[in-house]
């Protein structure tokens, strides 16, 4: 304990004195908010300095992920606010279950249930926690390096996913991402919003694909095609708060660089422009697919 200064001038806002108590705790439990999971088996150092509290821990478990360089601060008791910062590392599939135990279950938790990350992730987490019962703000950045992403509504997986996205509570926004989808390179970005009736995910996609490498065409069709298709698309996923998930997909491309040896009228030489539009609407049980050739 360190104490010096005139007690009448506490909390020494202008460095007229100092009050400090250092308290190391071992195997502690830190319940920082009633509706957030408590931090358990925590080795932490408490530094009571004047009218604030600074807490530091080298490592702590957050569900199935590891938090390192944890810093928790109450800069001023009178402002009733706790700030927590930590580096996060661990399996992506453990992140969703953690947020399912928080007030973000219906937003960020629901998104991570529909967009399921696998592989290790690195993140920076910041929590702004009012101690008067107001809503917690959770924000941070997540770095992806050769992860996979299972898109549950589409029953499809992106592989070798690289890039970064940020979040503020349930609002997510990515920078440019790269991945492999249907054995082809893919560029994408995404964002999410919390609507009045549904949590919404918007994805922009583009690529230059060789249809014969997708691995989904029948052999006879595969053998009759060659070349590549430059395309772009949008995927919208609605996660209603009280109903089933729905999605809408729209893809636009040009078959100019594709040659087809299929029977007429499906045959064409490379160099002949054929703009196409494909749309799909569905849910977790069924979908309707439409398409058209555009002039």
pLDDT digits (tens, 9 = 90+) for 81-136: 999 999 999 898 888 888 888 888 877 787 788 889 999 999 999 999 898 878 88
Note the Cα 70 to chain centre separation in Å: 21
Asked if residue 187 lies in contact with residue 176, where contact means CB atoms within 8 angstroms, the answer is yes
Picking from 22, 29, 31, 30, the residue whose alpha carbon sits closest to that of residue 53 is 22
Q: Supply φ then ψ for residue 220, to 5 degrees.
A: -65, -40
Count of CB atoms situated within 10 Å of the CB of 70: 22
pLDDT digits (tens, 9 = 90+) for 174-213: 999 999 999 999 999 999 998 888 889 999 999 999 989 9
pLDDT digits (tens, 9 = 90+) for 53-89: 999 999 888 878 888 999 999 988 888 899 999 999 9
Q: Which sign does the torsion angle of CA 132, 134, 140, 142 carry? A: positive
- Among residues of the chain, what percentage have pLDDT more than 70? 97
Distance CA 283, CA 112 (A): 17
Picking from 155, 295, 274, 158, the residue whose alpha carbon sits closest to that of residue 225 is 274
Q: What average pLDDT does the chain have?
A: 88
pLDDT digits (tens, 9 = 90+) for 208-266: 999 899 888 888 888 999 999 999 999 999 988 888 889 999 999 999 999 999 888 88
Predicted structure pTM score = 0.82
Q: Where are the domains of the chain?
A: 1-146
Distance CA 7, CA 60 (A): 37
């Amino acid at each position: 304990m360190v104490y010096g200064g005139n007690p009448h001038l506490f909390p020494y806002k202008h460095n007229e004195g100092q009050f400090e108590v250092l308290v190391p705790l071992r195997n502690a439990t830190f319940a920082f908010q009633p509706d957030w999971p408590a931090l358990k088996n925590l080795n932490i150092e408490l530094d009571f300095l004047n009218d604030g509290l600074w807490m530091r821990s080298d490592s702590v478990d957050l569900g199935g992920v590891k938090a390192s360089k944890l810093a928790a601060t109450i800069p001023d008791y009178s402002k009733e606010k706790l700030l927590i910062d930590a580096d996060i590392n661990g399996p992506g599939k453990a992140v969703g279950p953690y947020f399912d135990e928080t007030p973000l279950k219906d937003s960020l938790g629901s998104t991570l249930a529909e967009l399921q990350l696998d592989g290790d992730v690195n993140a920076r987490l910041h929590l702004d926690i009012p101690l008067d019962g107001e809503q917690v703000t959770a924000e941070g950045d997540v770095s992806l390096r050769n992860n996979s992403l299972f898109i549950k509504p589409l029953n499809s997986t992106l592989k070798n996913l690289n890039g970064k996205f940020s979040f503020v509570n349930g609002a997510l926004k990515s920078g440019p991402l790269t991945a492999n989808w249907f054995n082809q390179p893919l560029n994408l970005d995404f964002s999410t919003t919390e609507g009045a009736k549904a949590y919404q995910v918007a994805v922009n996609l583009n690529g230059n694909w060789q249809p014969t490498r997708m691995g989904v065409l029948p052999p006879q069709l595969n053998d009759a095609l060659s070349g590549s298709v430059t395309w772009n698309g949008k995927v919208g996923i609605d996660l209603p708060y009280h109903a089933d998930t729905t999605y809408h997909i729209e893809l636009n491309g040009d078959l100019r660089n594709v040659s087809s040896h299929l029977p007429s009228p499906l045959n064409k030489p490379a160099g002949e422009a054929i703009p196409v539009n494909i749309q799909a609407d569905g849910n977790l049980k069924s979908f309707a697919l439409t398409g058209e050739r555009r002039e």
